[in-house]
Amino acid sequence: MKKQFSSLVAGLSCTLVMMMATPVMGQRFSEEMINQGRYLATASDCIACHTSDKRKPMAGGHAIDSPVGRIVATNITPSRTFGIGNYTEQQFADAVRLGVRADGARLYPAMPYTAFSYITDEDIHALYAYFMEGVKPVDEPTEPTELPFPMNIRASMIGWNFLFANTRPFEPDAAESELWNRGRYLSVGPGHCATCHTPRGFTMQEKTGKALQGAHVGAWFAPDITSSSVNGIGSWSVEELMTYLATGRLEGKAQAAGPMAEAVTHSFSRLREDDLRAISTYILSVPPSDPIPSVTENRFDHGGPGDLLVDFRGTSYEDGMRLPGLGRGAQIYSANCASCHGYEGQGTRDAYYPSLFGKSITGGTSTANLIAVILNGVERETPQGGHVFMPPFGDQDNAMVPLDNDEIAALSNYIFTFYGNPGLSVTPAEVQVIRDGGPKSDIVLIARIGLAAGVLVVLGLGVWLFRRRRANWG
Ligand code: HEC
Ligand code: HEC
Ligand code: HEC
């Protein structure tokens, strides 16, 4: 009896193990494989770009503002008509790692395949399993990407890839620890930190030798996160960086808004603690950027509490708006910001409403993020940090108190002078650039001129050849 029972248990657990390891009827992949793929998709933040409607994850439609125009991320659900349902694993691997679509067309590097080239075969297999069987198919098309000529010629990416895409597989460095290697894999590959944080050259390639030294991402600026203690985050500990990645804030130093808030919300805050430790260990080992003569103070050390408001007690708002210099900014600040961030920019004691001094956003070298935060507000949601929200002030139709370019410039100048890097200043025209999605590149113009020059050279060559042949004949 006892023996029968134990063999029954053994039999049952054997079936159970088999059930876990083998796919459910009609499925090609095991739950375990699909879950591994889901975790990797989270670490790679596929959802941030490939989702525009929260109810339809991965169905695409979200447009990425690139310096050459808007590039629409496609539907990557397993829909056979509008998604990637017909992709084989090899085609999927080539799209993700090499930027080649199933029909052979080249993808624009707005899809970070240059980073994803690092993803191992095993992880590609898991990702494929997840996209084929863990994502719900959505049978809807996305808007086409329409870039200006000549960027609309996808084949031009073949040349670009040849010159710049350092698509290389991940190779562990035997001299480093397992934790560091895992961190490098996740940061360089799936986490694609460099896509946003590494400056790009004039043909949009990531500058080699300048890894993570700070770059514009649309309207935003992703700061230097090298180990330099003046320009970068060399003053942060591994635990501090882990806290920032998990919650999107590090009290007294920085908060994540814009694209970083999205990455924290969908990706980094959902990673296992050991993986966050690995990423942080690796990032803090990245070589420091070269000193910049104009930057002598760390961006987390600028500014202090203070205000100009005492000077204007009793001045009406309308009169205040006519004040010269910083007075106008002070009035705008007290009317719109002080209720949450404090009359002296000190924030609240629990730091839910952060102080504005000693912060990366006001003490850095770029004015973009302060303008972008005023225009767009802040929104972030993490398991540990809850829902964080600051209202936008830029939307002229929907903001409770819309501020125009002039007002935002005056307000920013007040904030930089009192709470941040007093060397920074903002003009209304610069606010408009951020409203429009950030600085545009001259690359389209250059490519057009380049193309025209190319055509002229070919024509000239043709004429010359023609004449020579005529000369020879004659
Ligand atoms: C930073 C934004 C971004 C991220 C992150 C991203 N993608 Fe993309 N992806 C794009 C864009 C944009 C396109 C369309 C590019 C084009 O049209 O040239 C694209 C295209 C694709 C395509 C080609 C589909 C087709 O047939 O048009 C596949 C497959 C794909 N992505 C898979 C993924 C997977 C899997 C992940 C996560 C591992 C991912 N992407 C993460 C932006 C992104
Ligand atoms: C989609 C673009 C994007 C990606 C991907 C991204 N970042 Fe960021 N990151 C930003 C932006 C933009 C900011 C500035 C946010 C702000 O100040 O509100 C930022 C800020 C930060 C900061 C704070 C620096 C400071 O001084 O405030 C750290 C640290 C950071 N990122 C680390 C990382 C790491 C590590 C990765 C990869 C694992 C990563 N980021 C991936 C865009 C990105
Ligand atoms: C209703 C309350 C509220 C008001 C009003 C408000 N803020 Fe905020 N602000 C917040 C919250 C909440 C955050 C996000 C804190 C976090 O990220 O953890 C924030 C964050 C910020 C940040 C830091 C963002 C970053 O990426 O580091 C700046 C700068 C800022 N606010 C400036 C302003 C200015 C300027 C105004 C006035 C135009 C203003 N805020 C009005 C609540 C408010």
| 196-243 tens-digit pLDDT | 999 988 777 888 889 999 999 989 999 999 999 999 999 999 999 999
Measure the CA–CA gap between 7 and 302, rounded to whole angstroms. Answer: 71
- Kindly give the distance from the C-alpha atom of residue 377 to the centroid of ligand 3, in angstroms, as a whole number: 7
**CATH fold for domain 178-283:** Cytochrome Bc1 Complex; Chain D, domain 2 (1.10.760)
What pairing do the DSSP bridges indicate for beta strands 378-382 and 69-72? unpaired
* Tokens found for residue 212: 């993570």
- Cβ of 376 closer than 6 Å to ligand 3, yes or no, is no
CATH number of the structural domain 309-435:
1.10.760.10
DSSP 202-245: TTSPBPTT-TTS-EEETTEEE---SS-TTTSSTTS-HHHHHHHH
Q: Of all helices (H) and strands (E), which one includes residue 65?
A: strand 63-66
Query: Which amino acid is located at 421 in the chain?
Result: N
Mean predicted confidence (pLDDT) in 38-65: 95
More confidently predicted of 233 and 67:
233
Fold match, 178-283 / 309-435 = yes
pLDDT above 70: percentage of residues in the chain:
83
Q: Are 68 and 153 in contact (CB under 8 A)?
A: no
Query: Where along the chain do its domains lie?
Result: 31-164, 178-283, 309-435, 448-474
Q: Of all helices (H) and strands (E), which one includes residue 390?
A: strand 386-390
- Kindly give the distance from the C-alpha atom of residue 75 to the centroid of ligand 1, in angstroms, as a whole number: 9
Task: Quote the pLDDT of residue 163.
Answer: 75
- pTM of the predicted structure, to 2 decimals: 0.89
Ligand 1 probe mutation, 36, 39, 50, 101, most atoms within 8 A of CB: 50
Does the pLDDT of residue 79 top 90, yes or no?
yes
More confidently predicted of 158 and 61:
61
* Tokens found for residue 144: 């086409």
pLDDT in tens, 351-360: 899 999 989 9
Task: Quote the pLDDT of residue 442.
Answer: 64
Mean predicted confidence (pLDDT) in 263-277: 98
Does the pLDDT of residue 151 top 60, yes or no?
yes
Ligand 2 atom with minimal separation from the 259 CA = 1
Q: What is the mean pLDDT of the chain?
A: 87
Eight-state DSSP code of residue 311: G
pLDDT in tens, 369-382: 999 999 999 999 99
Measure the CA–CA gap between 203 and 298, rounded to whole angstroms. Answer: 31
Q: Of 328, 320, 310, 318, nearest to 410 (Cα)?
A: 328
Banded pLDDT at 5 (limits 50, 70, 90): very low
Task: Quote the pLDDT of residue 187.
Answer: 98
Eight-state DSSP code of residue 296: -
Ligand nearest to the CA of 279: 2
- Kindly give the distance from the C-alpha atom of residue 268 to the centroid of ligand 2, in angstroms, as a whole number: 11
Task: Quote the pLDDT of residue 132.
Answer: 98
Q: Are 82 and 90 in contact (CB under 8 A)?
A: no
pLDDT above 90: percentage of residues in the chain:
64
